[in-house]
Structure 1
Amino acid sequence: MLGALVALVLAGDAASMAYAQVDPFKTFPFAITCKNKETNLVFYLSKVADSGTATYVASDGIAGTITLDGKAKAIGDEGGGSCVGKTLQELRTSGQALDIKP
């Protein structure tokens, strides 16, 4: 049992280290546009944790998170907007994700 736990922890560390070597600007969009109530917002990429969670911020401290294989979540606002619950692929398909083209 202890051996399995150690293997699981090491596998998680290896995944975090592998992700840390990926350029976040090649995996996450630079900005995401969302509509919340009657306001159009642009959320800019603020940080990407080693765990692979990207945080996006807009004006007035409005923020949200998303992972490569997860769905967008609002931080602190239970209502959210037009991005909440969408994957990165869905945001890209709908034209809401703005990538930087080198």
Structure 2
Amino acid sequence: MTNVALRHSPKRRGPALAITIATIALPYLAGTATAYAADDPLKSFPIVIHCQQKDTTHIFYLSRVTDAGLATYVASDRIAGTISLDGQAKAVVGGEGGGNCVGKTLADLRASHQAYDLKPQ
């Protein structure tokens, strides 16, 4: 799922590059997101999403949620994706298609047991 050009680049950049690019791309991907509980976005978005790409499972963790209701998830290998409450998952940085999460909604990811919510104890 990693971009071969980035993986073999002589000037390897850290995860900060992926997050920076995702941050720049977010306003263009946001569209019309449903409002969410700004007080606690963990009530609306899962803390972890896992996606299968060929023979590798990538574990994405919730990194940020914008006021517009767009969540960014990041994983190792400098890959990131976004999803909104009413939209579909999109690979943003470093993906070669995004695996079996791309195009799914939060409801789809939860139904397929690919999303894990934070449960208060």
Fold agreement, TM-score > 0.5: yes
The answer on whether the counterparts of 2:48 and 2:117 sit within 8 Å (CA) in structure 1 is: yes
2:80 to 63, 78, 83: 63
The answer on whether the counterparts of 1:29 and 1:97 sit within 8 Å (CA) in structure 2 is: yes
Q: Which has the larger share of helix?
A: 1
What is the identity percentage for the equivalent residue pairs of Structure 1 and Structure 2? 64
| TM-superposed deviation, 1:78 | 4.6
- Aligned structure 1 segments of 4 or more residues deviating by more than 2 angstroms: 18-22
- Unmatched segments (≥5 aa) in structure 2: 1-32
Deviations 1:26-62 (A, max 9, x none): 0000000100121101100000011110000000111
**Count of aligned positions:** 87
Output the TM-score relative to the length of structure 2. 0.66
| TM-superposed deviation, 1:81 | 0.5
Q: In the TM superposition, what are the counterparts of 1:47-62 in structure 2 within 5 Å?
A: 47-62=64-79
> Residues 20, 26 of structure 1: CA spacing in aligned structure 2 closer, same or farther, 3 A cutoff?
closer
Larger radius of gyration: 1
Is residue 84 from structure 1 mapped to residue 94 from structure 2 by the alignment? no
Computed over aligned residues only, the root mean square deviation of the Cα atoms, in angstroms, reads 1.9
